[in-house]
Every structure is written in structure tokens, then in C-alpha cells.
Amino acid sequence: MSIVEDAASARPAPQPSRPVDRTALARWIQRQQGQAEAPWLHREVARRMAERLVLFKVAPNVVIDWWAGPGGSAPALARALPRARVIEVVPEGTGTRGGPPAAGGPWWSAAGWRRKPSAVQDADLAAGAGQLVWANMMLHAVADPSAVMRRWREVLAVDGYLMFSTLGPGTLASLRNVYREAGWGPPHAPYTDMHDLGDMLVEAGLADPVMDQEHLRLTWATPEALLAELRTLGVNADPSRHRGLRTRRWRERLLGALREQARVSGTGDGRIALDFELVYGHAFKPAPRVRMAAETRLPLDEMRRMVRSARKADPSAGA
């Protein structure tokens, strides 16, 4: 596999909602947890995202690595934030080392043993648990991104920040063309546009969202190598996908269509190319706003946090 940068981009039609087959996604998440290592693309995006940590003046003491295993971010976080404590969050229902296995799953698995003892599930996290929520290449694998963002806000401390990456609608456009021309239906569930993701962040109560994107072009020597790597990246969870098992004849047609695509619009060296749109986002958790009434009561700890936040914003306020 080789990689070529591609700066071209075009915004598709907005996608405020994301129809997906939740059962197919759940099965994929279980399978992904059993992979020997995170996909190469996830590890590369984690490296690129870690380079953006220099934009923030305050280094976090506690980092919440959301879906840590599939994200493959541990090396990048260790290099960028060597002093931070990292809490690894595993997807709900996949079990953690030392805890109960997933329903119907074996009492032991290689994936479970590889997890660190500090790995937890989402429900185990307390409110305000970390100064940074880090979510690398997982948001496109959930059915309800808005709900996940609301949970991120809950587990962030006040003034903590979120950093995430995901796939955008420009991903696999040429593969969609292959399927469309053959009359096969969609090869994957729709991806969410970055502007819609920014709106979701605001609706979730996060402040100052910043979204940007970049495009990568990956190339493969053979269509078989291409399909093998795509299997590590995701599953077709589109509700309108073909429901039955595909035949060997269908697979040969797909391989032939990919070879033809390389001949007509490939890289010129016979390699098969696919484009990926990488979407990056970050936002902050603001101090809570108090709705004033004739009588308003606040916990003492909440009042202290509000005072500290006000002093940071205006040092002269406490003079």
C-alpha cells in the first residue's frame, strides 16, 4: 500500500441524520475488538491528530481515550503527553480485562487480555473525569453521533477539551461509483458532513467547535489487497445493502471492476486508488450557565468551579 496526498475537496449535500443498521455495527465492533492491532489508517490519523495538541496551552492531566483499542492512539498519546494518565474506554458490551465478558462471549479472548487493567466502559466513567476526551476514527462507527457527543460533554471537566477524527462523505467515492454502475446498491452507510458534526457539537453543549478536513489517496497493487484492508476499516451497515451472501461470481465481477477503474482513472502505474476524507474536530466544555430564578440553589463545588473559571477569564475579577 502507498499513500498520496490529495488537497482537492468538495462539500456534498448535508446529512443531518445517519441511517444505519445498528445490529451490523454492533457485530463489526465486536469483530474489530479482536483484531491484533488497530488499522494502519487509524494509527496514521492518530499520529496526525497528536501533532495538533501543540495548539492547546494547557496539557491535560487525565486523557480519556474513547474506543482506545480500535483507535490505535496509545503510541501517539504516549509521545505527545508522556505525563498524562490515560483512561482507555472500550465500546459498550465488549467487556474489559478483569470484568465480565460480552454477553454470549468466551470467558477469555486475546483481545480482552491485551487491554490494560485501567480500561473501562463508558458507563463506568464519572462526570468530569478528564481534561481531554480523545476519540480517534470511531465516530463513523456509531449510530447516533449526537448522543456520543453529549456523553463526551458529561465526562469532560469544565474547560476541558475534546479532540476527535472521523471519516467524511468524500471517503470511497470511486467505490460508490463502481457499485452504482453495477446496480449493487451502496457499499457502506453514509458518512456525516463535517459542518453537520459541528452543529451537533453545539447542540451537545460544547463550545467553540473547530472543524477541518484533509484528503488522502491510498493505493494498492491488487484489488484483493484493497478489499483485505477495507475489511479492517469497517463494515457495510447501510440499511439498503444486499442482505444475502455474495457469490464467487459476484466477487470476480467486483475485482474486475476495480481493475478497470485502475486502468481508466488510476495512478498511471497500474495501482488501484481510493480517496479518504479525514475530518478533525475539537471543542471545549464551558462553565455551566445558571438560570436565575427568585431562588436559585447551587452545590458548593459547582460555585467554586464557576468562580475559578471566571478568574481565569478575567484575572482582575478577584482583585
Q: Give per-residue pLDDT as tens, 162-181.
A: 999 999 999 999 999 999 99
- Average confidence (pLDDT) over 112-131: 76
Location of C-alpha cell 482513472:
265
The pLDDT assigned to 277 comes to: 98
- Average confidence (pLDDT) over 62-67: 96
The pLDDT assigned to 300 comes to: 72
Whether 280 shows a pLDDT value over 90: the answer reads yes
Task: Please state the CATH superfamily assignment of the domain spanning residues 13-177+185-215+278-286 in this structure.
Answer: Vaccinia Virus protein VP39 (3.40.50.150)
The pLDDT assigned to 112 comes to: 42
Whether 3 shows a pLDDT value over 70: the answer reads no
Q: How many residues does the chain have?
A: 319
Whether 102 shows a pLDDT value over 60: the answer reads no
- Residue 294's pLDDT band (cuts 50, 70, 90): low
User: Where is pLDDT greater, at 316 or 152?
Assistant: 152
Task: Give 19's strand partners.
Answer: none
Whether 99 shows a pLDDT value over 60: the answer reads no
pTM: 0.79
- Residue 14's pLDDT band (cuts 50, 70, 90): very low
Q: Cα separation of 6 and 277, whole Å?
A: 10
Whether 97 shows a pLDDT value over 50: the answer reads no
The pLDDT assigned to 291 comes to: 62
Whether 138 shows a pLDDT value over 70: the answer reads yes
- Residue 106's pLDDT band (cuts 50, 70, 90): very low
The pLDDT assigned to 242 comes to: 76
Which stretch, 18-22, 81-85, 93-97, 263-267, has highest mean pLDDT?
A: 81-85
**Cβ–Cβ < 8 Å for 155, 62:** no
Question: Left (φ > 0), alpha (ψ -120 to 50) or beta: where does 67 sit?
Answer: left
- Average confidence (pLDDT) over 281-294: 81
**Cβ–Cβ < 8 Å for 201, 147:** no
- Residue 25's pLDDT band (cuts 50, 70, 90): confident
The pLDDT assigned to 159 comes to: 95
Is the four-CA dihedral 209, 274, 6, 50 of positive or negative sign?
A: positive
User: Where is pLDDT greater, at 103 or 251?
Assistant: 251
Q: Cα separation of 109 and 198, whole Å?
A: 38
- Average confidence (pLDDT) over 85-113: 56
Whether 47 shows a pLDDT value over 50: the answer reads yes
**Cβ–Cβ < 8 Å for 41, 99:** no
Question: Which range (31-40, 69-78, 143-152) has the least confidence?
Answer: 31-40
User: Where is pLDDT greater, at 306 or 69?
Assistant: 69
List, edge to edge, every strand of the sheet that includes 156-167: 2-6, 207-220, 272-284, 156-167, 130-136, 62-66, 85-90, 120-121
- Residue 263's pLDDT band (cuts 50, 70, 90): confident
Phi, psi of 266 (to 5 degrees): -80, -155
